[in-house]
Amino acid sequence: MPNKTISFLGAVMVAKTFLAAAPVLAQDQARPAKAAYSAMAPLDQYLMADEKAEIALARTAAPASISGGAQVMVLRRDGYATVAKGGNGFMCLVQRGWAASSDNPDFWNPKLRAPNCFNAPATKTYVQIYFLKTKLALAGKSKTEITQTAQAALDKKELPAIDPASMAYMMSKQQYLGDGPKSWHSHMMFFLPGDVSKGWGADLPDSPVMAQNDPEERLTVLFVLAGKWSDGTPAPPMN
């Protein structure tokens, strides 16, 4: 894709997911040459001291009609914890940089915040990869160790297979997906098992769909651009 580089938070992040991520990640402009995030920063830099602020940020991932009734999780020193149970089948959280694939320069960027609202199939399958990576990151594992351990868990089927009905909203105007793209574009992500990026009309001129295969997580992410942010205000079109 000319002039576009996608890498997830995830998911995803992302994602990738990110950002799914994602929790996956995209940029429209050239990244500075300096690689500033070669290793994990002190843990406190990845945490949000105000959990109410993290809850509010997580809910900005999707319109209030979705996020208002969703389960919400926040990142603590020992992993993600549920702070709102929800009841509509969605789960919202703010992904950090390790949702991305290992070649993403923002993998250890402590400023990265990627709000996502995942549907139930994504929560039960895709998000479990991110939770494992989070556990390893908080334990002080290196990027290589995180990637290898997650891949081994997928190979051994210790993680659930991606449900093809998995998707996530990533429509937050406040998302910070990297020092280059920052908020990038309002979008949704659909997670499919394996390399199935062909046949969706993705990456064609004027198509709102982009695709990225992530061999590390054994999935393909379809990114569908939205015309507005979760608060209803207009989002910038893809150039």
Q: Considering its fold, how many domains does the chain have in total?
A: 1
Token pair, residue 230, equals 């979760």
Q: Domain residues for 179?
A: 5-28+37-225
Task: Please indicate, yes or no, if residue 230 is contained in any of the structural domains.
Answer: no
Report if residue 239 sits inside a domain: no
What's this model's pTM, rounded to 2 decimal places? Answer: 0.85
For residue 26, what are the β-bridge partners? Answer: 6
The answer to the question of residue 179 being in a domain is yes
Cα dist from 173 to 19, 50, 103, 143, 203, whole Å: 14, 19, 25, 29, 23
Please determine, for residue 2, whether its predicted confidence score (pLDDT) is greater than 70: no
4/185: higher pLDDT: 185
Band (pLDDT 50/70/90 cuts) for residue 183 is confident
Q: Which residue has the higher pLDDT, 23 or 121?
A: 121
Structure tokens at 100: 């991305």
Q: CB burial class (10 A; 0-12, 13-18, 19+) of residue 140? A: exposed
Neighbour-count burial for 11-42, b at 16+ CB within 10 Å, e otherwise: bbbbbbbbbbbbbbbbbeeeeeeeeebeebee
Identify whether 238 is part of a domain: no
